[in-house]
Chains A and B, each alone.
Chain A
Amino acid sequence: DGGITQSPKYLFRKEGQNVTLSCEQNLNHDAMYWYRQDPGQGLRLIYYSQIVNDFQKGDIAEGYSVSREKKESFPLTVTSAQKNPTAFYLCASNYDRAYGYTFGSGTRLTVV
């Protein structure tokens, strides 16, 4: 079945650590996105990529980094520079601007 796989489902980070969230899709979509959701809030865009080896900052990119070496994969690294990383992270993909995004099941990151 086609879809987006995010892993892990739950992730715990110690202060000062970098952690990487995985996002893999087998939908053959060109565009991929990372969003962050805080409790009771909407989704805020972190980074997006429309083609391999290219990506753009979203509205809240500080403290995050991404790579897009393969069409299928768009990992997100939460660096130690992100001071408040506890949130629900959602990866999405898209093949045409006229259509809505397909979302993965999300990764819940908690700082311990």
Chain B
Amino acid sequence: QKEVEQNSGPLSVPEGAIASLNCTYSDRGSQSFFWYRQYSGKSPELIMSIYSNGDKEDGRFTAQLNKASQYVSLLIRDSQPSDSATYLCAVNILPGGTSYGKLTFGQGTILTVHP
């Protein structure tokens, strides 16, 4: 089983719809969870972080975390063509004795928002 696994894509939604991106992780000790957006040929940029169970909203983005089910998701409301990108789920796994941990990434989900 992969440490971080994202729903297979690509995902295509019409402009104005809700895009739903899902991610599961295997390490129950994980404490920090992140969503990155990566445009083609560019480096990832952080769009959401979440640390406790429940929902966290930031503009059109909502991150949801369920630690019991080891599941984290990202909802994008009112999707725009500019949201078309690869979305990467990342989980901070803390090896023993380290302060900073290390991010483990899922394989990414390609999202296309069509007009």
Is A11 located at the chain interface by the 8 A CB criterion? Answer: no
Determine which of B42, B49, B51, B100 lies in contact with A30 in the assembled complex, contact meaning CB atoms within 8 Å. Answer: B100
B101 to chain A, nearest CB (A): 5
Residue pairs across A and B with CB atoms within 8 Å: the count is 67
Q: 1/0 per position for A94-112, CB-CB distance to B under 8 A?
A: 1011111111111000000
Determine if B43 and A90 form an interchain contact, defined as CB atoms under 8 angstroms apart. yes
Determine which of B36, B51, B106, B108 lies in contact with A98 in the assembled complex, contact meaning CB atoms within 8 Å. Answer: B51
Is A45 located at the chain interface by the 8 A CB criterion? Answer: yes
Determine if B45 and A98 form an interchain contact, defined as CB atoms under 8 angstroms apart. no
Q: Answer whether A45 and B102 are a contact pair too, CB < 8 Å, given A97-B31, A100-B36.
A: yes
B44 to chain A, nearest CB (A): 6
Determine if A104 and B43 form an interchain contact, defined as CB atoms under 8 angstroms apart. yes
Residues of chain A with a CB closer than 8 A to B4's CB: 42
Determine if A100 and B105 form an interchain contact, defined as CB atoms under 8 angstroms apart. no
5 more A-B residue pairs beyond the given contacts A30-B99, A44-B105, A97-B31, with a C-beta to C-beta distance below 8 A: A92-B103, A98-B49, A98-B51, A100-B46, A103-B45
Closest 4 pairs (CB-CB, A-B): A31-B100, A42-B105, A100-B46, A103-B43
